[in-house]
Structure 1
Amino acid sequence: MRNKPPYALNSVDHALQLAALLQQEGPLRVTDAAERLGVAASTAHRLLAMLVYRDFAERLPDRRYGPGKVLRPAETSEAPVALLRRAGIPEMRRLVDQTQESVNLMVLAGTEVRFVATVESPQILRVGDREGRCLPAHLTSGGKAILSALTPEELAAFYEGVDDIDLPRLRRELTLVRKRGFAINHQLTETGLTAIGTAIKDDHGRPLAGLSLALPTARFDRDTLPTWVNALSATALRIEGALAGPHL
């Protein structure tokens, strides 16, 4: 598992977070960037200036900053990321308090999922922050939960031309995910990491995002699985409720 190093450089970390925000959510004002990073506006301005210098960002005519050419090749997501974060993060914190394990929010981006928010476990041995990372959707728990909500035709079109996917096998696995209401990633993306995932859906039952509870495999307990699944499902429902109400 990859956790934040004890020697982390805050300036580097802030610059990387800012680049990820520009890629995932689009243009930001200096004040928006400062608020998201928890830094002074002058610090955010200096970080943005350096990102512009290295082509990770560009200054727009309306004085906002958008993603630069280095970031543009990445697959985009149709999910309302900013709204998902506002609705999701308070409930994710509540779930972490309840389970003492890390919680992730992710959206589809091409055939991958992009992690758009993480609330870390307070435990010393924990799954660390995954925000900004991309992983194959068919391997992650949240990604499988999203894929399971697609129609067979949509799934076939989704993976058309992708040679390394065993589509019949994936269909069988997703059928089981639909029946259970959750998916499991047991060390498929990272040795020592197990995650349980479910989908967050809109009013029409379409998947908007995936929500996962991630923990060290050493703490994974089949007897506790129903408790984790119930807590995860309840959290997803509360987020769906928040999304269905007035925009936050």
Structure 2
Amino acid sequence: MGRLVPAVTRALDILELFLEGDGTLSAPEITRRLQLPRTTVHELVTTLAARNYLVAVPDQPGRYRLGVRPYQLGSRYAEQLDLAAEGRQVARGVAETCDETVHVAILEGTDVIYIAKVDSTHAVRMVSAAGRRLPAHCTSVGKMLLASLPETELKQLFPDGRTLTAMTDNSITSPTALRRQLAAIRESGIAVEHRESNPDVSCVAAPVRDSAGTVVAALSISVPMIRWSEERHAELSELAAKGAAELSDRLGYRGRP
């Protein structure tokens, strides 16, 4: 690995400061927060402004905000992102930590489609495949994604009086019961599915957000009932949330749900 260039490191440190607070800073504030010489900060800010990485804030003399160039770079990065590829990388790390099957899925209508999957190494594990489609209301990933939809859209997808498809005896078949469970998922931030798509498996899932904060996918961990317990439930819920947060970070999400 080559030597880090101090001037470039300091310039990047300055730019990253603008990710915090209201997104505006003055040169004295930058000097104080980074503990750099005043002349160094002045030269770096002047250079960044000349290259459109920073711009002066109108009607606020001496204050700067991010310019158009970081936006252009971020847009190009976003264009190159592949949710499935990023999902596989994150799922692999989660699976290595817990040695259970990990999925990343997206919502299409009333179904979920698994776009990434990493298997457990255990002989007894969930059998599935990337590309598989399942009823969303029967899965933890699906319920997590449905919980992100507005109530009006949910009523269109699952009108009252309709009987929902059951995959097991534990599947939710009532739209009213489903909406009640989705409300609880919004509160907790974690979706749980107990033997609703497979009679021998339970799952936990957490939301994946894009740079705009929109839920675009969900990451789940699936566990055979022989390895399921309340303690394991809590442990895997935390791990699923961390994995989903990492994938969200890769997609450019910088806020908090």
Matches within 5 A, 1:73-222: 83-160=82-159, 163-165=162-164, 166-222=174-230
Q: Are the structure 2 counterparts of residues 204 and 160 from structure 1 closer, same or farther at C-alpha, using a change threshold of 3 Å?
A: farther
Q: d(CA) in 1 for partners of 2:189 and 2:156?
A: 23
Q: Secondary structure at the match of 1:91?
A: helix
| Offset at residue 97 of structure 1 (A) | 0.8
Structure 1 unaligned segments of length 5 or more: list them: 1-79
Q: Which amino acid aligns with 1:108?
A: L
| Offset at residue 171 of structure 1 (A) | 1.2
Q: Which residue of 1 aligns with 2:238?
A: 230
| Offset at residue 205 of structure 1 (A) | 3.1
Are the counterparts in 2 of residues 113 and 134 from structure 1 also a CA contact under 8 Å?
Answer: yes
TM-score (ref. length: structure 2) = 0.60
- Asked which structure has the greater RCO (Cα within 8 Å, sep 6+), the reply is 1
Matches within 5 A, 1:28-67: none
| Offset at residue 181 of structure 1 (A) | 1.2
List structure 1 runs of 4+ shifted beyond 4 angstroms.
none
Are the counterparts in 2 of residues 184 and 196 from structure 1 also a CA contact under 8 Å?
Answer: yes
Q: d(CA) in 2 for partners of 1:126 and 1:176?
A: 28
CA RMSD, 1 decimal: 2.0
Q: Are the structure 2 counterparts of residues 162 and 228 from structure 1 closer, same or farther at C-alpha, using a change threshold of 3 Å?
A: same
Q: d(CA) in 2 for partners of 1:210 and 1:135?
A: 14
TM-score (ref. length: structure 1) = 0.62
Corresponding pairs, count: 165
Q: Secondary structure at the match of 1:209?
A: strand
Q: Which amino acid aligns with 2:186?
A: R
Q: Are the structure 2 counterparts of residues 223 and 188 from structure 1 closer, same or farther at C-alpha, using a change threshold of 3 Å?
A: same
Are the counterparts in 2 of residues 119 and 129 from structure 1 also a CA contact under 8 Å?
Answer: no
Q: d(CA) in 2 for partners of 1:136 and 1:190?
A: 12
Q: Deviations over 1:73-96 (max 9, x none)?
A: xxxxxxx9x811121111111101
Q: Which has the larger radius of gyration?
A: 2
